[in-house]
Structure 1
């Protein structure tokens, strides 16, 4: 799965996050790949996934509750590892 590091808009980023999580749910990518890419996207696109410790409105709308739960878990685990 090819993923860019930097995205211009929140909508583009939401589409990629959706593809990543869907691929994980369909057993197309391993868990480590998902963790690595979500952390990378969050680090390299500051303010596009979260602002003031909340998901942005576009990310909430585009990703939905179940995918946000996965993103939340990945980012929380990443913070615990640091």
Structure 2
């Protein structure tokens, strides 16, 4: 039988850390797209908002795999 190790974190700490990562990712995506669009002389705000929101969702989903900045709760049972 395959036994999977599930990482355990304090939920409130995880939500805070994942949220901070997601906000940073959204901001970085928006800045990159605005910079690229400005060079092309047309900022497509709908595309920037859409891509930025999608990057935030992907960041949250990636955080489910684990966040290295959080300490894992070790079950000593």
TM-score, normalised relative to structure 2: 0.32
**Higher Cα Rg, which structure:** 2
Q: Which has the higher strand share?
A: 1
Tell which has more relative contact order, 1 or 2 (C-alpha 8 A, sep 6+).
2
Q: Which has the higher helix share?
A: 1
